Amino acid sequence: MNPLGRTLLTLAALILFTLPAHAFDGAEYLLGSDDGGRTHKLALGVRIHDQIKAIPELPHDQGDLSWLLAYEFHSNIAYWQLGLGYTPESNTDRDAEVLTPQINLIFKDSIYRLGLGALTSYVDEDGETDWTDVYWQAIVGIELPLGSRASLGLYGCYVFNKWEDITDSGDNGLAGNLLLSWGF
């Protein structure tokens, strides 16, 4: 199966896994909720990277920083996060800028977060541009409220290229996200 097919199959499985809960108590888990009257959030933050040997097209090295912008659609137990990361420069000898769109499904319980995401990166290296194949991240974190609308999230991400290589920690990498979000 090609990478796009795997991506669509994974997203379909996530949706099918979470939507049947609607039948048990009438709550609409992934399609909307009364989440304190605010089901939408905008988030701005930073991501610190590690080198990911399994994705050699990515010019990230340990300590590289990306800016993150995300829109979140919240429901009772989970939320969809559509994000874009921008890496203006790399600590490697490669002169590159990177744009990384991503979609994440993150489950929430109190302050705790657990999720899975699909990413692809547009790499502009010395004037030559190309997209990476779809790659993945497992997400774990906490989100602390700052008043009634704002929150601060700290997330750890395990980034990997292929599902069959998910346990190969030598080629996969870690990333950390710090996001300030505002509900509306």
Q: Nearest CA to 113 among 95, 89, 137, 94?
A: 137
Which residue would you say has higher pLDDT here, 152 or 33? 152
* Confidence band of 127 (pLDDT split at 50, 70, 90): confident
Give the percent of the chain with pLDDT over 90: 55
> Strand pairing partners for 80?
73, 105
Note the pTM of the prediction, 2 decimals.
0.78
Whether the per-residue pLDDT at 110 is higher than 60: the answer is yes
pLDDT at 114: 97
Domain boundaries, the chain: 3-183
pLDDT at 16: 56
Q: What share of the chain is helix, strand, coil (3-state, %, to 5)?
A: 15, 50, 35
**CATH code for the part of the protein at 3-183:** 2.40.160.20
Which residue would you say has higher pLDDT here, 72 or 34? 72
Q: What is the average per-residue pLDDT within 97-124? A: 96
